[in-house]
Structure 1
Amino acid sequence: MREIVLDTETTGFEPDTGDRIVEIGAVELSGHLPTGRTFHKYLNPQRDMPQEAFEVHGLSEEFLSDKPLFADLADEFLAFVGDAKLVIHNAAFDMKFLNAELRWAGRPLLPMEQAIDTVAIARRRFPGSPASLDALCRRFGIDNSARTLHGALLDSEILAEVYLELIGGRQPDFALGGPSASANGATVPAWRAQPRPEPLPSRLTEAEKAAHAAFVKKIEGALWQNA
C-alpha cells in the first residue's frame, strides 16, 4: 500500500483571499515504511508575504522570487501523488490550498476522501489531549528538536513517524496482514501457523497429575466434576 505523507507552508490561512502555497514537502511510504522517495519544492507565491509568515517559515521574498510557480510543477506533483492516500496533519487546511492551486492551474482536484487526517486519528485515540504535531512528538518520544522553523519536508518526515505510531507502531500489520514483499521484491504469502504433525508430550509428571486430582476432589460444587 502506497501512502504520501504531505505538508504545505502558506502565506496565510485563506486561498480565497489570495493566500498561496510557498512550500510543499512529501514523503513516500510503502507498506507503512519510508521508501526514500520525497517531493520537495519552494514556490513563488506571486504576492507579498506578511512579516509573521517570514518569521514562521524562515523564508524571504528574495529567496522565493526565482522559485517556480505552482502551475509549473502541478503535473510533477500530481504524478508523484498518483492515487496514493495523502497523510496530512489537519488535512482540510492543506487540501483546501492544494485544490485551490490545482484549480487555478487548470488541473484536476484531489478528492477529500483521498486524505487521511492525523489530527482526527489523534483525537479519536487520545480524546481531550493536545493533537498538535509537537504534542504528539512528545507523547511518542519522537525527536523534533530540528523543528525550530516550520518546514514542509521536515514536518512531513516527522509526521510520518507520528502517523506510524498513531496506527499502532512501525509494523502495525506484522504477521497479521496479507501477502508482503520479500527483500528481492517478490510477493510471499502471509505466514500461517500449521498444526503439529504430532502433539507435544505432556510435561506433567505422574506425581503432579496425582496432586492436581487430589486438589480438585477437595473443591465442592465444581462444574467440571459434573461433566
Structure 2
Amino acid sequence: MNEQMKGNGGFWDTLKNGGGSPRIASMLGAPSAQQIAFVRSLTKGQRRPESLRIPLTELKTAVFDLETTGFHYHYGDEILSFGAIKVEGQEISEDVYYSLAQPACTIPERIVELTGITREMAQDAPVLLEALRGFMSFVDDRVLIAHGSAHDKAFLDVALWKTTKAHLGHRVLDTMMIARKLEPTRGISGLDDWLAAYEIPVTQRHHALEDAKMTAKLWINLIQRLNERGVVTLGDLYAYLSRS
C-alpha cells in the first residue's frame, strides 16, 4: 500500500495537472539524475543570518518525525516513514506530509509491532529518493523541529548523502533540549513524559505524522515559556541554549 499524503493543497497533484513551476513539474517522472539534482538544491542556503532576528512567534517551522528500522544507521538501519506538519509562528497548520519509504534492509518484527508498518506495506512504498524528495519539497526552507532531534537529523542526513551526496543544510531545533533547559529539575526527556507534563493528549505514538503533530503542540507550549524568559527571537534561543 502506497501511503502518501502531501500538503500545499495537493502539491504533487497540482504539478501533475500543469500548475506550479515548470522546472519543478519537469521533475515528475524525470530520470534519477534530475531527481538527485532537485533534492540537492533543496538542501542549500537554509541558514540565512537574517532568520536569527525573527521572533519565535512569527517563525515558519516544520515539525517532523521519522520512523526507522532501528537506531543504528551505521549498521544499516534505514528510514521507514516521514511525517511533518507546518507551523506558522504559534499556529499549527493543517498542511501535512506523510509517506512510507521502502527500506533496503529487513524490518525487524519489534519495529513492525511498534509502528504498525508491515513488510508488505514497505515493499509497496515509494523508494527512499522519492519519499525524501517529497519531504524536502514540503519543508522547503523552514526551520526544522523534532523531539530528540539527533536521531532524526542523523538518519535524514545519511539518507540525503546516500541518495544525493548532499548534507542537510537546515537549522534544526530540538524540543527535548529546549524543554529540559526550561525545566531541568523535571529530570525527564522522552516525548511521552513531556506530553504528560504539558497536558497534551496522546493520539497515536510511533506514527511519524502523529508524533510530529504532538511535537508541534509541545513546541507551541515551549514558545510561550521561552517568551516569559525573555527569549524572543531565534537568535535569543540559540544564546539561551548555549548558556551553562
Question: Common fold, TM-score beyond 0.5?
Answer: yes
1:26 Cα offset (Å) = 0.2
Inter-partner Cα distance in structure 1 for 2:131 and 2:181? 36
1:28 Cα offset (Å) = 0.2
Inter-partner Cα distance in structure 2 for 1:39 and 1:101? 17
1:5 Cα offset (Å) = 0.3
Aligned residue in 1 for 2:179: 122
- Name the SS of the counterpart of 1:78 in structure 2: helix
What is the aligned-residue identity percentage?
28
Unaligned runs of 5+ in 2: 1-58, 234-244
Inter-partner Cα distance in structure 2 for 1:82 and 1:32? 19
1:74/1:107 contact within 8 Å kept:
no
- Name the SS of the counterpart of 1:154 in structure 2: helix
Greater RCO (Cα-Cα under 8 Å, separation 6 or more): 2
Aligned residue in 2 for 1:184: none
Among 32, 35, 58, which residue is 2:93 paired with? 35
Inter-partner Cα distance in structure 2 for 1:81 and 1:16? 25
Among 83, 103, 116, which residue is 1:58 paired with? 116
2:101/2:131 contact within 8 Å kept:
no
Inter-partner Cα distance in structure 1 for 2:139 and 2:117? 25
Aligned residue in 2 for 1:48: 106
Aligned residue in 2 for 1:207: none
Code of the residue aligned with 1:15 in structure 2: it is: Y
Inter-partner Cα distance in structure 2 for 1:55 and 1:38? 25
Inter-partner Cα distance in structure 2 for 1:77 and 1:166? 25
Aligned residue in 1 for 2:28: none
Inter-partner Cα distance in structure 2 for 1:73 and 1:151? 16
1:107 Cα offset (Å) = 5.1
- Name the SS of the counterpart of 2:82 in structure 1: strand
Q: Of Structure 1 and Structure 2, which has the larger fraction of its residues in helix?
A: 2
Aligned residue in 2 for 1:70: 128
Correspondence 1:160 to 2:216? yes
TM-score w.r.t. length of structure 2: 0.65
Q: How many residues align?
A: 171
Inter-partner Cα distance in structure 2 for 1:31 and 1:164? 8
Compare CA radii of gyration and give the structure with the larger one: 1
Inter-partner Cα distance in structure 2 for 1:77 and 1:63? 19
Evaluate the alpha carbon distance shift between residue 50 and residue 128 of structure 1 in structure 2; reply closer, same or farther with a 3 A threshold: farther
| Structure 2 counterparts to residues 77-226 of structure 1, below 5 A | 77-106=135-164, 108-111=166-169, 114-129=171-186, 130-144=188-202, 146-147=203-204, 149-168=205-224
Code of the residue aligned with 1:58 in structure 2: it is: G
Inter-partner Cα distance in structure 2 for 1:32 and 1:73? 28
1:155 Cα offset (Å) = 0.4
Pairwise CA RMSD: 2.1
TM-score w.r.t. length of structure 1: 0.70
The farther-off stretch of 152-161 and 126-135 is 126-135
| Structure 2 counterparts to residues 5-16 of structure 1, below 5 A | 5-16=63-74
